[in-house]
Each structure stands twice: as C-alpha cells, then as structure tokens.
Amino acid sequence: MLQDKLPLGAVASSPSPSLRTPVAVIGSGPGGAITAALLAEAGREVLLLEEGPYLPLDSCIPFTRQEMEQKYRNGGLTAALGRCKIGYVEGRCVGGGSEINSGLYHRTPADILEQWRRAYWIEGFSEAELTPHFSACERDLSVSYLPGAAPAASLKLHHGAQHLGWQSLEVPRWFTYTPAASADAAGGIKQSMTQTFVPRALAAGATLLPDTRIVRLNRTRTGWRLWAEYSPTGAKKRRLTIDAATVFVAGGAIQTPALLRRSGIKANVGNSLKFHPTVKVVACFPEAVNSIDMGVPVHQVKQFAPRFSFGCAISTPPYLALALVDHPRDLAEVQSQWRHMAIYYAMIGGGQGIVRPVPCYRDPLIRYRLRAADLYDLSDALRELCRVLLAAGADALYPSINGHPVIHGETDLTCIPRPLPPTRTSLMTVHLMASCPMGENRHLAAVDSFGKVHGLEDLYIADASLLGGAPGVNPQGTVMALARRNALHFLGKL
C-alpha cells in the first residue's frame, strides 16, 4: 500500500519525507509510462516518479525556444565529448521524449531484431513474438498516416528521391485527427504520454510525483530504498526517501546508467551507448516550402539503409538559425528567406559511447567515439543528401561544416571532404539507446531478456537502454513494444 499521505490515482504534491510503495517507476517517458499504466491496470499500486515538471502538451508552442527551456534537459544544450562533439537532447518533463519529438513511428527492422537476438541471446525476441506488442502500441497511440497532404518541405525530399529513382516513404505518426483538424501535417494531436499512458496510469490508481530526481538506490532487506530530491519550480529543494518492493528504472539511455552506476551497479551498465550521429543541411529553394504552422515533415529516404538514411527536420525560424551556426555570415538569410528554407539530415548508426557519473556534478560525463569509417559514412551520406536536394530544386545548400562553402550545384559536391573533418563538423542526435542491453549473454548484457538486472532481485529497466544497438530508425516504437512485452511478462501474462 502506498503510504504517508500520497493520494492514489492523482498527481502528488508536498510529499512526506519518507514514503513507501509496492512499485516505483522512475521516469515517465514511453517506457516508464507504459510500464506504470499496465501495472496499475493489473491492480498493482504504483508510484510514477519524474525528475521534470508536469506540463500539458499545449503548455507552449511546439519546437520553440520556450519549449526547449520548459521541457528539454539543459535547454537542449548537452554534448557528448570525443574527436567529434555530438550535441544530444533529452526530454525532462512528464512524458519525457514523447512530449518533444516529432511522433514519427517505426517498428524495428526484422534483420536488426535478429542481430540483437543472436549477439545478446535474447529469449522471446523473434519478429513474430514482438508483432502483437507493436500492434497493441500502434492501436493505443493511433499510429497512422497523414489524412491529407504532407508539408511542402517534406515533399521536396520525396520528389527529389523519385527523380533519382531512390526509395522514399512516408513515416506514420502517433497522432489523432478530428473532422475539425486540418488534413495536413499541422493538424491533429500528438499522442504523447501525457495524452495517453500517463492518464491511463492515473485512472487505474497510480500516483504521479513530478519534480523528483532519484539520486541513488540501495538494496534493503525488503526491496529498494530510493534517495530523492524533490524540487518543484520556485520551491526549496527537499530530500525524500522512498522504500519500494520493486523498482523499474526508465530514465532513458543516459540517466538510467548514470543512476545505476551512482548506486554501485556497474556490470555492463553505461559501456555500450549508441547514437544515430546526424549531419544537417539547410536547403534554400526558389519557391516557398515553409510556413509558421508547417508541422512535422514525414518523408524519409531509405535507399542506402542501413548504412545511412535521410529525412526532413523541424524547420521553424529558431531551428533554422541554430542549423546555420556554421555559416554566421548567412544567418541574416533566415529573417528574410525562412519561408524558402528547410532543414534536412543524414544519419548513421556508427560509433559507441560510455556514460559515467562525475562526483559533485548533476549530469554524467558522456564520451562518444566515431571511427574513421563512421566519418567516411557521414561524408558519403552528406554528399548523397545534397544530391537529392539539388534534384528537388534547391539552389543553395548550407552543410553543418564550419567554414564550408555554400553548395549551388553538382560540381560543388566534390568539395565535401571525405572523411568529414572531426573538429569542424557539427553533429547532433535525438536518438539515444543501448547503454544497458538486454539478454542472457552476461558478458555483454546488463539485464535479462525481460529487463531484470542480472544478479539483483526486484530491479528492472524499461527504456531505450535495453536496445542491442542502433536500429537505424526512430527507436521509440521499439521502446514501447519492449515496455509492454516486459511489463506483461512481469505480471505473468505473457
């Protein structure tokens, strides 16, 4: 029973310094929210903990500076160190990354599932065994294609690929549409966790405690003790202890291994972090392709997958200005030409990183190593991305390489350095995974085939940490399917 005056089925405030709960779920992103909802709906008493605030989906305009300040960790300005600095983003709010991403959805490619199954000895991990979980998540989140036309910037990529005879596709999204919603990418409502599984968890009796950071875990005779800091906006930070019989850690591929390592749990934890390193290009077209309500571009080019893939990114004026940081003399173009501009990206799955907590620092140290082969892949990906944008009619391309000249035609593609220069190339990622992989191979895996930490009772992981590598597609569909599968296994319903 949840004790010490935390209300069941509600958002808690002013908690007692000492709490007790049968099940604690740390992190309310896709993995944590789905886990909390399914356990609560099965009759378990669940305390869902979140470091960030509880904000509605419409608390700010999406993809603005205000959203970055409200819902991103460190305002979106965090970097992995290495020869190439890679900027990465994490959600820090109830709902986690589902609140700030584009809502694009992929199932894990079958060949990737098989690679992970063989490498990590994962049980119950065939495509056929996972399909019911993908299907259930797709139903619960209303994963669907656009009911109308895609944004012009998205179609530019698609038409350029068609001109070259390359494979291009529309990616479905977790959105709902009503007759009143415009039938385009700007219409509809994103089915983030605050719209779906967090309300389901609360309706089933779970308690949500936002603004609560778990500093470390300790094993006790009856379960786990969580040492926490409760710090709502504008209030003085308070220290809490939470005793839980069972704990699910779902803080994401950075925060989960950092917490476990701070707690002395280190076996295969935080040693195998994977990104999708991404290089960007700002393209300028003779005609308007952008608008203030453009919404989310939905087309991706998979002609060269799994080696690399292309897509169109959010292209609001603030994002365009950020993407032109390597071309400071051209920043003024955003103010006058932003309607003719859009951001495109090429991503690979290479490299590997580590997560290490640093004494006296809140955030962990992230190091990420790209091999020479990865920099060659990024160079080739950038060149082919520029080729498809030129085929789409772009008359100026600004690659994210400091000091690189503007590309105006095919002959300029020979100027793209091969490999990309590590000290001048601006790389970023929004996909973080694989820092605590699952499986029965204890030489490589941190947890078993269903998320239980090896060698420890009543401690589970339920987030992107579990993945066996970079899937080459947005990983949140994989995260959600695994969270559902593993929660049902925990409940004895699989």
Q: Please say whether the beta carbons of 209 and 222 come within 8 A.
A: no
Take residue 311 and report the two structure tokens written for it.
């897509």
Q: Are residues 412 and 309 in the same domain?
A: yes
Cα–Cα distance for residue pair 137/172, rounded to 1 Å: 13
Calculate what percentage of the chain has a pLDDT beyond 70: 96
Q: Are residues 157 and 247 in the same domain?
A: no
Residues 285 and 417 in one domain: yes
Question: What distance lies between CA 464 and its chain's CA centroid?
Answer: 8
Q: How far apart are CA 408 and CA 393, in angstroms?
A: 10
pLDDT value for 188: 84
Query: Is the domain of 291 the same as that of 344?
Result: yes
pLDDT at 184 over 60: no
Question: Considering the domain boundaries, does residue 60 fall inside one?
Answer: no
Percent of the chain with pLDDT over 90: 85
Residue finishing a domain among 429, 458, 478: 429
Predicted TM-score (pTM) of this structure: 0.95
Give SS3 for 370. coil
Is 307 in the same domain as 438? Answer: no
**Residue 200 counted as domain residue:** yes
Do 366 and 292 lie in a common domain?
yes
CB distance 219 to 260 below 8 Å: no
**What letter represents residue 345's amino acid?**
Y
Phi, psi of 228 (to 5 degrees): -130, 160
What percent of the chain is helix, strand and coil (3-state, nearest 5)? 30, 25, 45
Catalytic, out of 158, 327, 404, 431: 431
Distances (CA, A) of 257 to 187, 254, 416: 37, 6, 37
- Domain residue limits at 3: 1-54+96-103+106-140+192-269+433-494
Q: Do 335 and 382 share a structural domain? A: yes
In the numeric block, the tokens 């190091």 are attached to 367
Query: Which residue stretches of 282-400 are H helix?
Result: 317-323, 332-337, 372-391
pLDDT digits (tens, 9 = 90+) for 431-451: 999 999 999 999 999 999 999
Query: What confidence tier does 4 reach under pLDDT thresholds 50, 70, 90?
Result: low
- Mean pLDDT for all residues in the chain: 94
pLDDT at position 182: 47
Q: How many Å apart are CA 135 and CA 141, to the nearest integer?
A: 10
Q: Give the closest residue to 96 by CA, choosing from 213, 26, 210, 193.
A: 193
Instruction: Look at residue 1 and tell me whether its pLDDT is greater than 50.
Output: no
Question: pLDDT tens for residues 145-179?
Answer: 999 889 999 999 999 999 999 999 999 999 998 76
| Number of residues that make up the chain | 494
E-strand ranges in 81-176 read 86-88, 143-144, 168-170, 173-176
Q: What is the pLDDT of residues 372-427, one digit of tens each?
A: 999 999 999 999 999 999 999 999 999 999 999 999 999 999 999 999 999 999 99
CATH number at residue 16: 3.50.50.60
Domain CATH for 285 = 3.30.560
pLDDT band of residue 3 (cuts 50, 70, 90) is low
104-109: average pLDDT: 96
Show which of 379, 412, 429 is a domain's final residue: 429
Q: Are residues 12 and 44 in the same domain?
A: yes
Q: Kindly state whether residue 374 falls inside one of the protein's structural domains.
A: yes
Residues 350 and 479 in one domain: no
Q: What string of DSSP letters covers 200-235?
A: HHHHTT-EEE-SEEEEEEEE-SSSEEEEEEE--TTS
Name the more confident of 259 and 333: 259
Establish if 36 belongs to a structural domain. Answer: yes
Q: Is 431 a catalytic residue?
A: yes
Based on the fold, state whether residues 311 and 164 are members of the same structural domain. Answer: yes
Last residue of a domain, one of 429, 461, 483: 429
> What whole-number distance in Å separates Cα of residue 467 and Cα of residue 482?
9
Note whether residue 196 is domain-resident. yes
**Cα–Cα dist 66/70, whole Å:** 6
Asked whether residue 184 falls in the same domain as residue 292, the answer is yes
Instruction: Tally Cβ neighbours within 10 Å of residue 466.
Output: 33
By the 10 Å C-beta count (0-12 exposed, 13-18 middle, 19+ buried), 228 is classed as buried
- Output phi, psi for 59, to 5 deg: -65, -20
Any domain includes 25? yes
Q: Looking at the structure, do residues 259 and 320 belong to the same domain, yes or no?
A: no
Band (323; pLDDT cuts 50, 70, 90): very high
Token code pair at residue 41: 């709906």
Query: Does residue 29 surpass a pLDDT of 90?
Result: yes
The count of domains in the chain is 2
DSSP 8-state class, residue 6:
P
- Mean local confidence (pLDDT), 186-195: 87
Residue 249 confidence class, pLDDT cut points 50, 70, 90? very high
Please say whether the beta carbons of 150 and 299 come within 8 A: yes
The runs of H, that is alpha helices, within 419-459 are none
Residue 59 lies inside a defined structural domain of this protein: no
pLDDT for position 186: 58
Name the region of 182 (left: φ>0; alpha: ψ -120 to 50; beta: rest): beta
Confidence at residue 76, expressed as pLDDT on a 0 to 100 scale: 87
Mean pLDDT of 26-49: 98
pLDDT over threshold 60, residue 5 = no
Q: Cα separation of 73 and 361, whole Å? A: 14
